[in-house]
Structure 1
Amino acid sequence: MRFEDQIAQLGDLTRPLIHHELRVLANLEPESLKVFWQIWRDIPAERRGAILRDLDGLAEDNIDLDFRPVLRACLYDRDAEVRVAAINGLWEDESEATMDRLIALIADVSGPVRAAAVVGLAPFAYRGEMGELSAPATQRVYQALLAAATDDAQPLEVRRRAVEGLGYFAASPEAQAEIGHAYAHHELTARESALRAMGRSMLPRWFPIIERELKSPAPALRYEAARAVGELGAEGEPFLPMLLPLIDDEDGEIATTAIWALGQVGSASAKRVLQRLARSKDEARRMAATEALEEIDL
C-alpha cells in the first residue's frame, strides 16, 4: 500500500485504530512529512487527536519509533485538542526549536493549549538549571514562565502551571516570590502548584511548609507535599517521620506517591520500609515499593 493510502486509511472512521498501523507515522523524512500533512488536514479532528494520543503508548513500547517529526508538525494543527495531544506527546523532546514553539504557544487562543505549553516547558527549565541548555535558551524559558506566571490575563491554570516550572529556578528571587504568591492564593489548585514548585526548588526556606502540608486535611496538598519530598531526593530524609504515615493513607494515589518518594530519598531507613512494603498484600503498594527499590538500585 502506498504511503498516502496508509495515512488516509488511518483517518477512516469506519475502521478502528490499529496500533501496528500507526508505525507508518514513525521516522518520517521531510518529503514524507509534507505528504502526511496534506492528507492529515482532511482527517476529522477527533480522529487526529485519538491518533496522537495512541502514539505515546506505542513509542514507550518501541523505542526505535520516532514520532517527533509528526508531533512537531501537529503543534500547528488547527484543532486545539490536537495541539494539546502533540504537546503531551513531545514530553521527551529536548530540541530548542520545540522549546521555542512551546513558548510561542503560551499566546495560543486556547487556554488548555497554553496550559499544556507551560507544562511542556518545565523539563526545559530543569535542563537549563542542570547546565544542559545554552544560557540564552535557559533565559528564554525562564522569561516565558515568569511572564506567564505574572500575567493576570492568563487563566489560573496557566499561571499555576508556570509557577511549577519556575520552581527549578532556585537562584531567582522573582521565581521564588511567585511560588510564595501561589501558596498564598485562595484557590487550592494554586497551592498545589506552589508545593510542587517548592520541592523542585529544594530550598530550605520551603521545608516548614512541606512538612506542615504532609499532615494537611486536603488530600491534594498531602499528595503534593509527598511529591515534594521525593523531589528533594536525599535532602528529603528529615521528612521521613512525617512521610511514613502517608503510605497507609486512605487515598491510594497519595500512598503510592509517598512510596515513590521513599525511593527518591533512597536512604537506608527508606529502603527498609520499602522492603517491607514489597511483601505487602496490597498489590498497588507492593508494586510501587518494588519499583521504588529498583530505582534505588539504579
Structure 2
Amino acid sequence: MPSVEALLAHLKDEATPLSIPRLYWLSDLSEEELEQVARVWLTLSTARRRAIMSHLVDISEESTEVDFGRIFRMALSDPDPEVRALAIDGLWYEDQDLQLMRRFFELFEKDPSVEVRARAALGLGRYLFNACIMEQIPLSAVRPAIEALRQAFYNPEESLEVRRRALEALGNTLEPDLPLMIARAYEDPDERMRMSAVFAMGRTGEERWAPYVMEALRSPSPAMRYEAVVAAGEIGIREAVPLLARLIEEGDAEIQEAAIWALGEIGGPRAREILEELAEGEDEDLAALAEEALEELNLMEEAETFLPLLEMDLESDAAEAEAWQALWEEEGEEEGGEDDEEGRRD
C-alpha cells in the first residue's frame, strides 16, 4: 500500500483529477496517519474537499469493507457546511456510539447551516430507532434529542427543511403525539413536508396510515410516489400490490427498485407471482432485484411458519418445567414430612 505521504501529494495536486482507487487508502487510518491528513486537509480548496467527501460517501455506501470513520469525524468540524453535511451522511452506519450522537446533537442545535442541521436530525434518527424500537441503547440517552426534535418540528419560525427532517427522525420513536405530528405534516401546503409525513408513516409501520399511503401512491409527483412505495413496504399494505406492479411497469428506475423491495416486504401470493415473473424476465437488473426480494420473502415466510412452532415449544417447555417444579416440591414436602415424623419419634 502506498504511503500516506504519496496519497496526500495526490490530493494536493489539484490540477490532477481525483483517483477514486487511491481514495480507498483513506480507509482504516491510524491516529498518526489521521494527524498527517488533518495537517494538510484545510490547505486543500473547498471544491477539492467537497469532491473527496462526496466520493468517500459513495464508496462507503457501496462497500462494507471500508471504514472512513476517522475522516468523516474529522470533517464534522470543517469550515464548509457542505463538507460537514457530507461527513454526517458518511457516518450513516454509526448508530450506537453515544459520543458521536452528542456531536450530532450539538450540530443540530448550534450549526449555522440549515442543511447541516437537517442532516444532523437524520443522523439522530438512527439513534432514536436503536433506542425506541430496537432497545439497544437506553431511552434516557436519546430523550434530550427527542425533545429538541419535537420543539423544532412545532416551531413555526424553524426552517422547513429542519422541521421535516426532525419529523422523519421522530418517525423512529413511540412518542404519544407522533400521529398528530404526522397528520399535521400531511396537511401542509408544501409537498416536501407531505413527503416527510409519508416517510414517517412508513417508519411507524402502523396500518392506520394505509389510506394516506394509498393516496400518495397515486400522486403525480414521482418523489411522493417513491416515498409512498417505501412506506407501503414498511407497513405491509397488501392492497398496494397492484399499484406497485403498475409503477414497476412505468419504468422510473428508483421507483422500480423501491417497488420490488416493497413487494418482498409485503408478501402474499400475488406479490410472489409478480416477483417470479420479473426474476424470469429479460431485464437483468430487474431480475436481480426480484431475486433478492424473493429471498427476503422466503425468509419472512419461513419465519412466520417457524415462529408458531417455536412458541409451542416454549409453551411446552414451560408446562414441563412447571410439572417438574410441582413434582419436586411435592417430593420435598414428603421428605420433609418423614423427617418431621422421625424427629417427633426421637
The answer to whether the aligner puts 1:203 opposite 2:167 as a matched pair is no
| Aligned residue in 2 for 1:230 | 233
Amino acid corresponding to residue 106 of structure 2 in structure 1: A
- The 5-angstrom pairing of residues 62-81 of structure 1 reads 62-81=63-82
SS at match of 1:280: coil
Please state how far the C-alpha of 1:75 moved relative to its aligned partner.
0.5
Please state how far the C-alpha of 1:43 moved relative to its aligned partner.
1.0
Instruction: Select between 75-84 and 13-22 the one with higher mean Cα deviation.
Output: 13-22
Q: CA deviation digits over 1:167-204, x for unaligned, max 9? A: 122x3122222111110100111111101100111223
| Aligned residue in 2 for 1:14 | 15
Please state how far the C-alpha of 1:153 moved relative to its aligned partner.
2.9
> Residue 125 of structure 2 is aligned with which of 101, 107, 122?
122
**Is there any run of 5+ residues in structure 2 with no aligned partner, and where?**
300-346
**Contact 2:60/2:90 (<8 A) preserved:** no
Please state how far the C-alpha of 1:297 moved relative to its aligned partner.
4.4
Please state how far the C-alpha of 1:4 moved relative to its aligned partner.
4.1
The answer to whether the aligner puts 1:182 opposite 2:185 as a matched pair is yes
SS at match of 1:76: coil
The answer to whether the aligner puts 1:86 opposite 2:87 as a matched pair is yes
CA separation in 2, counterparts of 1:65 and 1:284?
25
Q: CA deviation digits over 1:186-224, x for unaligned, max 9? A: 011111110110011122322221122222333333222
Amino acid corresponding to residue 111 of structure 2 in structure 1: D
| Aligned residue in 2 for 1:168 | 172
The answer to whether the aligner puts 1:257 opposite 2:258 as a matched pair is yes
Q: CA deviation digits over 1:29-51, x for unaligned, max 9? A: 33332232121111111111111
Please state how far the C-alpha of 1:273 moved relative to its aligned partner.
1.2
**Contact 2:207/2:237 (<8 A) preserved:** no
**Contact 1:166/1:176 (<8 A) preserved:** no
> Residue 195 of structure 2 is aligned with which of 192, 207, 211?
192
**Structure 2 vs 1, CA of residues 241 and 200 (structure 1 numbering), >3 Å: closer, same or farther?**
same
Identity of aligned residues (%): 38
SS at match of 2:135: coil
CA separation in 1, counterparts of 2:53 and 2:217?
37
Amino acid corresponding to residue 202 of structure 1 in structure 2: G
Higher relative contact order at CA 8 Å, sep ≥6: structure 1 or structure 2? 1
**Structure 2 vs 1, CA of residues 264 and 185 (structure 1 numbering), >3 Å: closer, same or farther?**
same
| Aligned residue in 2 for 1:150 | 154
Instruction: Select between 281-290 and 171-180 the one with higher mean Cα deviation.
Output: 281-290
**Contact 1:11/1:48 (<8 A) preserved:** no
Instruction: Select between 188-197 and 283-292 the one with higher mean Cα deviation.
Output: 283-292
Q: CA deviation digits over 1:66-101, x for unaligned, max 9? A: 210110111010111111111111111122222221
Q: CA deviation digits over 1:102-140, x for unaligned, max 9? A: 121123111111122122222222212211222222323
- How many matched pairs? 295
**Structure 2 vs 1, CA of residues 252 and 22 (structure 1 numbering), >3 Å: closer, same or farther?**
closer
**Is there any run of 5+ residues in structure 1 with no aligned partner, and where?**
none
| Aligned residue in 1 for 2:143 | 139
Please state how far the C-alpha of 1:252 moved relative to its aligned partner.
4.1
CA separation in 2, counterparts of 1:139 and 1:216?
35
Please state how far the C-alpha of 1:244 moved relative to its aligned partner.
3.3
CA separation in 2, counterparts of 1:221 and 1:7?
43
**Contact 2:214/2:240 (<8 A) preserved:** yes
Provide the alpha-carbon RMSD of the alignment.
Answer: 2.3
**Contact 2:183/2:197 (<8 A) preserved:** yes
Amino acid corresponding to residue 23 of structure 2 in structure 1: L
> Residue 102 of structure 1 is aligned with which of 98, 104, 126?
104
**Contact 1:118/1:158 (<8 A) preserved:** yes
**Contact 1:167/1:176 (<8 A) preserved:** no
